[in-house]
Amino acid sequence: MPLTEEQVKAALGAVRYPGFSRDIVSFGLVKKIDLGDGDVVVQLALATNDPAIPQTIKTEAEGALGKLAGVRSARVRIDIQAPPGDSGRAGMGATKISGIKHVIAIASGKGGVGKSTVAANLAVALQQSGASVGLCDCDIYGPSISLMFGSRERPMATEDNRIIPIEQYGLRLMSMGFLLEENSPAILRGPMVTRYTQQFLRQVEWGALDYLILDLPPGTGDIQLTIVQTVALAGAIIVTTPQEVALIDARKASTMFEKVNVSVLGLIENMSYFQSPSDGKRYDIFGSGGGAREAKRIRVPLLGEIPIDIATREAGDRGMPITAEAAGSAVGAEFSKIARHLRETLPT
């Protein structure tokens, strides 16, 4: 019985992209399969600056194909391209979103580090600096941007099924929280989560933006992979807290972006310290210096140290990020400093 393309793809499905649990077929790297009399030639295409990645894929793919019954020879050819986007800052097969100059991912290795608070306040700070900014809540299962911006408005659609984002405090917003009934969970399987993520990025009428901030879910799962695979990112910012348990996961997030050729623009240490309002004394509740040490280890700037602040929590719960409510506060000033750095790094 002659060998089929389905059998070849099934064999290649066992070959993982280095550093990920996802295979090269689902990543869309397989471009062509030629079948002869016992000879198999597979054409792959990937964008990377790391010479070890294509060599590893080639060795493992040829090994997997060689185990197929009836295969006399197996050859894997790889078309290696420079990563698309600005200065190589993009993942495999990623393309730009029309009208948007810079897409910045806000990521964390674990939950509970205040990543969404950072994303919301940084977006507002960038807007206050004079930039046009959008914020996309990519945490489909745990959306929080609708709460932080105090809006239950439902997005509308254009005649050609483009989604019109919600506008609040000068920002354009999209979140699963705008689509769900209050207290309703998003009960979705992986493929549907991927589809929603793509719709939020590609089918929303973002218009012309200087910056689109992506609030990613914690970890390094399907949503993160979908984004780095399809969207040309200007870079990523890693959010952590000072203690080692958070820093360990921050390293994992940093390594993920490194593997897919996305630059890490810097690290933000959230919940850095608590300053008592009664006597001004500083308390390093989660330790001190962890963010600075980690930033030095991965050779990126420490963009800011955001303190634990009661007013910041209260403002977010009221639906107005602290940078919108009190831009002159200590927390607001820290976010303004980070925004200035980003505008210098990624000018419009």
**What was the pLDDT predicted at 187?**
57
**What was the pLDDT predicted at 221?**
72
243 shares its domain with 157: yes
Last residue of a domain, one of 59, 81, 103: 81
Q: Record the pTM.
A: 0.74
**What was the pLDDT predicted at 86?**
40
pLDDT digits (tens, 9 = 90+) for 108-146: 988 889 999 999 999 999 999 999 999 999 988 888 899
pLDDT digits (tens, 9 = 90+) for 255-295: 888 877 788 999 999 999 998 888 889 999 988 889 999 99
**What was the pLDDT predicted at 82?**
58
Q: How many CB atoms lie within 10 A of CB 29?
A: 25
239 shares its domain with 149: yes
60 shares its domain with 179: no
CB 125 within 8 A of CB 336: yes
**Nearest C-alpha neighbor of 125 from the set 303, 336, 340:** 336
Q: Which residue numbers in the chain have pLDDT < 70?
A: 19-21, 49, 81-93, 181-191
178 shares its domain with 246: yes
165 vs 171: CA distance, rounded Å: 9
Its domain, for residue 95, covers 87-345
295 shares its domain with 158: yes
36 shares its domain with 140: no
Last residue of a domain, one of 49, 64, 81: 81
Q: For residue 35, give the CATH number of its domain.
A: 3.30.300.130
279 shares its domain with 224: yes
**What was the pLDDT predicted at 87?**
40
CA 307-210-345 angle, to 5 degrees, is: 60
194 shares its domain with 222: yes
173 vs 168: CA distance, rounded Å: 7
